[in-house]
Structure 1
Amino acid sequence: MPQITVDYSADLAGDFDRPGFAKALHEATVEIAAAKPPACKSRFRPTEDIVVGPETEGHAHVHIHIALLAGRTDEVKARLTQAALELLRTHLKPAEGLTLHASAEVRDLDPSYAKFES
């Protein structure tokens, strides 16, 4: 915890500083949501195709999913969502001609969440 997943258009790969973004988002998650630094985990999933309305070209997307153990207030979740989007602006410089659709959400992990380390 937290589990962070970032889905992004594959054509953004060269313009997206993913390690820098993850590090900065982990720091923000610790500060805003009182997470422990070693507990922050991020994974990035490139997506090949995106369709926006009737268009299949000229668009790119990034969606940031942040899942936390229950107990954070809606205000904390909203602050973390906004911080994630602001950090994205500083770590992603999309190519000209692409319209970027960026979004983020913070949600509670299901009570069934479990983990182990070995």
Structure 2
Amino acid sequence: MPQITVDYSSTMDPAFDRAGFARALHASVVEIAAAKPEACKTLFRPAEFTAFGYDDPEERGHAVVHVTLGLLAGRTDETKTKLTETVLELLRAHVADGGFVLHASAEVRDLDPSYRKYES
């Protein structure tokens, strides 16, 4: 915990500083949600094909990124809101102008009580 997933249009690859974003995001999660640094994990999942409205997806004029943060239950709504707002600020700082319109979103979810993990 936290489990962080970043789904994004591969159109963003050259413009998206993923390493810098992950470092800044982990620091923010530690500060805002009292997570342990060694518990922060982020999985980036590029999507080869994304579509926006009625625009031709082949023109690649739009990019979509959605960040999901899974945290153990108990955080206040205020904490969750501050995290999502911080995620959007960090995306603005770590995605350069790539010639596309960026559509960014974020959400915080409580992990199910059945959540377990292991390391080997």
Partner of 1:95: 98
Q: How does 1:1-118 map to 2 (within 5 A)?
A: 1-55=1-55, 56=57, 57=59, 58-96=61-99, 98-118=100-120
Distance in structure 2 (CA, Å) of the matches to 1:10 and 1:51: 12
Amino acid at match of 1:14: P
**Alpha carbon RMSD of aligned pairs, Å?**
0.8
Please give the TM-score of this superposition, normalised by the length of structure 1. Answer: 0.96
Once the two structures are TM-superposed, the CA of residue 94 in structure 1 deviates from its matched residue by 3.4
Q: Is the 8 A contact 1:29 1:80 kept in 2?
A: yes
Moved over 6 A (4+): none
Please give the TM-score of this superposition, normalised by the length of structure 2. Answer: 0.94
Q: Is the 8 A contact 1:12 1:94 kept in 2?
A: no
Question: Where does the alignment leave 5 or more consecutive residues of structure 1 unmatched?
Answer: none
Once the two structures are TM-superposed, the CA of residue 52 in structure 1 deviates from its matched residue by 1.2
Question: Where does the alignment leave 5 or more consecutive residues of structure 2 unmatched?
Answer: none
Q: Is the 8 A contact 1:94 1:100 kept in 2?
A: no
Aligned residues: 117
Distance in structure 2 (CA, Å) of the matches to 1:17 and 1:52: 23
**Identical counterparts, % of pairs:** 63
| Residues 31-77 of structure 1 deviation map (CA, whole Å, 9 limit, x = unaligned) | 00000000000010000111111222311011001000000000000
